[in-house]
Amino acid sequence: MIRVFAICAALALAACGESGADAQEIPISMNGVAAKKLFGAKTGGSQQSPRPYGGYAKGCLAGGVQLPETGPTWQAMRLGRNRNWGHPETIDFIKTLSAKAARQPGWNGLYVGDISQPRGGPMLSGHRSHQMGLDVDIWMLPPKNLNLTRSQRENISSVSLRRSNGAFTNKSWSRAHHEIIKAAAQDSRVARIFVFPGAKVRMCNEESGDRSWLRKIRPWWGHHYHFHVRLKCPAGVRGCINQDPPPRGDGCKDAQSWVNNILNPPPPDPTAPKPKPRQDLTMANLPQQCVGVLQSP
């Protein structure tokens, strides 16, 4: 029987006895260590079949695939972060969407921001999500040059599209942004896309055709330098937890309420509980398969 350490209880294994025999052993060296330090230290994907484990904000990625730094219609940005790794479905989605983007006026493809670390998991900085290789940030900056050097990719910035704290779009917004986000939402693999509220409202106001794709566009704070695409768990993959589907309808009234609250903020609720400080995730907080992902060559 595989020896199971005291951490087994934190992993909520059924009995830490007979049922624990099939569990991955968590080495003493991992106990209590912030998982972001363990995953952040890995420079390459695991030698396993591609599989996401857990949830978008509490998971990991086996067999991650690296998006090539440069392709015919894309460039991966901020290469020093080593976050251009994802599930094969995500890599294929990026290549497909970038080819569609290249057909828009003024766009030669896409600048691709963070996907995931080589083995997913919590990141040393930034995102709480992006842990399973199924999230990707797409820059709002239209790529006119797909021959940027590594140094240029570290120093160039995207462009903000928001005005009035996100209640409206600014002059940098274009119909091409609308069409690229629409193309992303119409991909059946996509679960939802996060953008700032003013962008969602503008798309709602200007879409005259099929509006069903608007359901996937969700207003969220930030997301004015990039839009965040979240893919569904691949079909038939066990151990991957999808986010609940968006509410029914196109979500346009909800987005307008976000805008209204930006323009006329409601008074603070004195009875609202104060937010608790975030705690770093440890291996005990992640699916037990993530130990194997870390230990794999």
Sign of CA dihedral 114, 99, 155, 163: negative
Measure Cα distances from 283 to 23, 25, 39, 100 in Å.
13, 11, 10, 39
**Positions of the chain with pLDDT lower than 50, given as ranges:** 1-23
Q: How many structural domains comprise the chain?
A: 1
Instruction: Tell me the pLDDT tens digit for each residue of 224-280.
Output: 999 999 999 999 999 999 999 999 999 999 999 999 999 999 998 888 888 888 889
- Whether residue 35 contacts residue 51, with contact meaning beta carbons closer than 8 Å, is answered with no
Q: What is the pLDDT of residue 91?
A: 98
Q: In this structure, is residue 197 part of a structural domain?
A: yes
Q: What is the pLDDT of residue 2?
A: 36
Q: In this structure, is residue 56 part of a structural domain?
A: yes
- Whether residue 164 contacts residue 263, with contact meaning beta carbons closer than 8 Å, is answered with yes
The 3-state secondary structure of 159-194, one letter per residue: CCCEEHHHCEECCCCCHHHHHHHHHHHCCCCEEEEE
Q: In this structure, is residue 13 part of a structural domain?
A: no
Q: In this structure, is residue 77 part of a structural domain?
A: yes
CATH of the domain at 243: 3.30.1380.10
Instruction: Tell me the pLDDT tens digit for each residue of 90-100.
Output: 999 999 999 99
Domain span including residue 42: 33-265+284-295
